[in-house]
């Protein structure tokens, strides 16, 4: 009985870990207190009124193969970015980012500059500004090979005294995609420099009502939703960073540094922005591979996603590719499933002898456990081997989940009745406004039969109530609820996994 309890406990613990992992990312991360001094002088974060762009301002446009960027002729602020290679799902029009707030705004000194446009071409624009003995030049240019643009500021000290010039760049990002709510959270990820060995390199923020000064020097800031992001990195690192108050479903961050200029001195400040898919390989090609916090499981998932894309290139269907991936992974796991199946069958065959031991040493529970352990050892049986497939499958599922949730190619892909594999399948909407998602229901049914079949190999006795619970509907219902609002591509993967495992059990039984 003690061994059976351990089996049940291991299964329940694995399920609990999955529940926590799937739902932990929708919660707000506690914000660290700004107690440490920054390595660079802090420029005060721009006030709300300074972030609001003037309504009446002439706009110029620069354009590359990937981006069309609209810039204020006077403010020098990037007002709007159009991702030319991606469409808004609801309208079919090119995806636009920007609505009244600067996507990127350079600030020299303590106030927002009023620039004089000096030149513009298809891919770049230039401005000049003179103030308080400083000559300032601004250039915004597009990259021909990636969805990036560079903001370059040159500051020349025309005075006869030393000058300490604060420079900052404000970046913002709002939801551009048609996704909403829990399935599309806004997040600010900062790549920071550790001051102590145990500190995390990446800090995550999910918005705040007040400005937050980041306690450590920052190398890069990434503002992101599920499929798209705006990542910005300055040429001077580390810089002081602030996460600005969240307004109108928009995250903003300020990166600040100071330039020290001798009389006649000249210094340059650069900030490069990436605006495009939140895709590791595209970010890497643009030089922003450190924008995302990738753990070991996510890196494994990236390898599986390359395999998924390869399958999709052959099948021309991401739904079919997900099914094939699930079958391949499950078949690859079959040796462990077979070990589990054989172990459970041996335990079933040993049950009469275990019952004899319980009867023989009924007044000595410790002796029962010792003799049962020796019996298992003699027959090379592990009571925990029944959980082996689940224990191995869950990390694999986590790695796939962390990667497939951001695969831009799946966005908008239809399969059977599913209009978008990146969203819940929603077969219908039933009163009172509840979405009927069919895939999680089918998945729960498949898991129920899979559990029933696997538990047939477990020794059953009248007192084994926990085994009866495990073979009942509780676990499938729990998984069905847990998966109900997840992207349909993930539910399709787990459904296929359950059906393939069920078929394997049937074959192994015969």
Name residue, tokens 């090979």: 145
Q: Report the pLDDT value the prediction gives residue 505, as an integer from 0 to 100.
A: 74
Helix (H) or strand (E) holding 189: strand 187-192
CATH at 102 = 2.70.98.90
Helix orientation angle between 388-404 and 334-360, rounded to the nearest 10 degrees: 140
Q: Report the pLDDT value the prediction gives residue 131, as an integer from 0 to 100.
A: 83
Q: Is 254 found in the same domain as 204?
A: yes
Cα 276 from Cα 316, distance rounded (Å): 24
In DSSP terms, which residues pair with 62 in a beta bridge? 69
Q: For residue 494, is it within any domain?
A: yes
* Cβ 21 vs Cβ 15: under 8 Å: no
Cα 270 from Cα 503, distance rounded (Å): 59
Q: Report the pLDDT value the prediction gives residue 485, as an integer from 0 to 100.
A: 83
Q: For residue 42, is it within any domain?
A: no
Q: Report the pLDDT value the prediction gives residue 463, as an integer from 0 to 100.
A: 43
Q: Is 247 found in the same domain as 352?
A: no
Closest CA to 142 of 71, 62, 242, 39: 62
* Cβ 263 vs Cβ 161: under 8 Å: yes
What is the per-residue pLDDT across 321-373, written as a single tens digit (0 to 9) for each?
999 999 998 888 777 777 777 777 777 777 777 777 777 777 777 777 777 77
Q: For residue 46, is it within any domain?
A: no
Last residue of a domain, one of 238, 262, 287: 287
Q: Is 256 found in the same domain as 146?
A: yes
Q: For residue 406, is it within any domain?
A: yes
Name residue, tokens 């970010």: 283
Domain that holds residue 374: 2-22+303-509
* Cβ 170 vs Cβ 252: under 8 Å: yes
Q: For residue 45, is it within any domain?
A: no
Listing DSSP states for 206-228 in one string gives ---SS-EE-SS-EEEEEEE-SSE
Written as six digits, the tokens of 128 are 């000049």
Name residue, tokens 């709002």: 174
* Cβ 242 vs Cβ 256: under 8 Å: yes
Buried b (16+ CB within 10 A) or exposed e, 428-465: eeeeeeeeebbbbbbbbebbbebbbbbbebbbeeeebe
Cα 170 from Cα 77, distance rounded (Å): 9
Q: Is 16 found in the same domain as 104?
A: no
Q: Is 138 found in the same domain as 10?
A: no
Buried b (16+ CB within 10 A) or exposed e, 151-169: bbbebbbeeeeebebbbbb
316 torsion bin: left (phi>0), alpha (psi -120 to 50), beta (else): left
Name residue, tokens 């991702």: 83
Query: Model pTM?
Result: 0.77
In the three-class reduction of DSSP (H, G, I as helix; E, B as strand; rest coil), residue 154 is classed as: strand
Q: Is 111 found in the same domain as 252?
A: yes
Which stretches of the chain score pLDDT less than 50?
1-11, 13, 17, 20-50, 461-467
Structural domain tally of the chain? 2
Q: Is 271 found in the same domain as 159?
A: yes
Q: For residue 294, is it within any domain?
A: no
Q: For residue 468, is it within any domain?
A: yes
Cα 3 from Cα 19, distance rounded (Å): 25
Helix (H) or strand (E) holding 313: helix 296-315
Helix (H) or strand (E) holding 281: helix 280-285
Could you give the dihedral angle defined by the CA atoms of residues 410, 101, 193 and 204, in that order, rounded to the nearest 10 degrees? -50
Q: Is 407 found in the same domain as 317?
A: yes
Last residue of a domain, one of 287, 313, 343: 287
**Cα 120-81-278 angle, rounded to 5 deg:** 130
Q: Is 255 found in the same domain as 162?
A: yes
Closest CA to 379 of 415, 356, 350: 350
Could you tell me the end-to-end alpha-carbon distance of the chain, in angstroms, rounded to an integer? 28
Q: Count other C-beta atoms under 10 Å from residue 351's C-beta.
A: 15
235 torsion bin: left (phi>0), alpha (psi -120 to 50), beta (else): alpha
Q: Is 103 found in the same domain as 63?
A: yes
Q: For residue 44, is it within any domain?
A: no
3-state helix, strand, coil in the chain (%, to 5): 40, 30, 35
Q: Is 309 found in the same domain as 252?
A: no
Q: Is 183 found in the same domain as 68?
A: yes
Q: Measured between alpha carbons, how far is residue 489 from residues 108, 422, 424, 429 in Å?
A: 47, 6, 8, 20
Q: Report the pLDDT value the prediction gives residue 192, as an integer from 0 to 100.
A: 81
Cα 331 from Cα 406, distance rounded (Å): 25
Q: Measured between alpha carbons, how far is residue 318 from residues 172, 397, 422, 507 in Å?
A: 32, 17, 11, 28
In DSSP terms, which residues pair with 434 in a beta bridge? 430
* Cβ 177 vs Cβ 226: under 8 Å: yes
Q: β-strand 240-247 against 148-157: which pairing, if any?
A: unpaired
């Amino acid at each position: 009985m003690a061994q059976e309890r351990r089996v049940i406990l291991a299964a329940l613990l694995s399920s609990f870990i999955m529940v926590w992992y799937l739902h932990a990312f929708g919660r707000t991360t506690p914000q660290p207190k700004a107690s440490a001094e920054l390595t660079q002088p802090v420029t005060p974060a721009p006030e709300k009124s300074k972030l609001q762009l003037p309504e009446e301002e002439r706009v110029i446009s620069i354009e590359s193969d990937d981006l069309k960027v609209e810039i204020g002729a006077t403010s020098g602020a990037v007002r709007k970015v159009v991702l030319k290679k991606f469409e808004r799902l609801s309208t079919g029009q090119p995806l636009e980012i920007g609505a009244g707030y600067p996507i990127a705004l350079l600030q020299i000194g303590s106030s927002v500059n009023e620039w004089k446009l000096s030149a513009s071409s298809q891919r770049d624009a230039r401005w000049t500004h003179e103030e308080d003995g400083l000559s300032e030049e601004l250039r915004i240019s597009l990259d021909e090979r990636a969805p990036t643009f560079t903001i370059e500021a040159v500051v020349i000290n025309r005075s006869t005294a030393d000058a300490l010039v604060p420079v900052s760049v404000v970046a913002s990002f709002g939801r551009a995609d048609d996704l909403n709510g829990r399935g599309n959270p806004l997040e600010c990820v900062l790549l920071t420099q550790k001051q102590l060995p145990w500190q995390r390199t990446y800090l995550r923020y999910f918005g705040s009502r007040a400005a937050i000064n980041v306690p450590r020097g920052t190398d890069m800031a990434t503002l992101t939703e599920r499929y798209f992001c705006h990542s910005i990195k300055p040429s001077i690192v580390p810089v002081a960073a602030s996460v600005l108050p969240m307004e109108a479903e928009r995250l903003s961050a300020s990166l600040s540094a100071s330039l020290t200029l001798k009389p006649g001195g000249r210094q340059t400040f650069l900030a490069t922005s990436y605006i495009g898919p939140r895709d590791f390989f595209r970010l890497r090609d643009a030089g922003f591979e450190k924008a995302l916090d990738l753990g070991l499981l996510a890196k494994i998932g990236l390898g599986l996603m390359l395999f998924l894309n390869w399958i999709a290139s052959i099948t021309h269907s991401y739904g079919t590719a997900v099914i094939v991936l699930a079958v391949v992974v499950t078949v690859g796991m079959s040796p462990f499933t077979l070990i589990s199946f054989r172990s459970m069958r041996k335990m079933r065959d040993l049950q009469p002898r275990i019952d004899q031991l319980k009867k023989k040493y009924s007044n000595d529970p410790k002796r029962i456990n010792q003799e049962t352990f020796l019996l298992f050892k003699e027959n090379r049986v592990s009571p925990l081997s029944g959980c082996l497939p689940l224990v191995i499958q869950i990390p694999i599922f986590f790695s796939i989940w962390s990667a497939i949730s951001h695969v831009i190619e799946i966005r908008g892909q239809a399969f059977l009745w599913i209009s978008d594999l990146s969203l819940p399948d929603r077969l219908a909407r039933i009163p009172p406004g509840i979405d009927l998602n069919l895939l999680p229901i089918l998945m729960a049914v498949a898991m129920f039969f899979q559990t029933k079949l696997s538990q047939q190999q477990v020794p059953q006795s009248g007192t084994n109530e926990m085994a009866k619970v495990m073979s009942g509907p509780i676990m499938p219902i729990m998984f069905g609820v847990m998966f109900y609002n997840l992207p349909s591509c993930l539910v399709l993967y787990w459904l296929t996994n359950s059906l393939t495992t069920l078929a394997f059990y049937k074959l192994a039984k015969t």
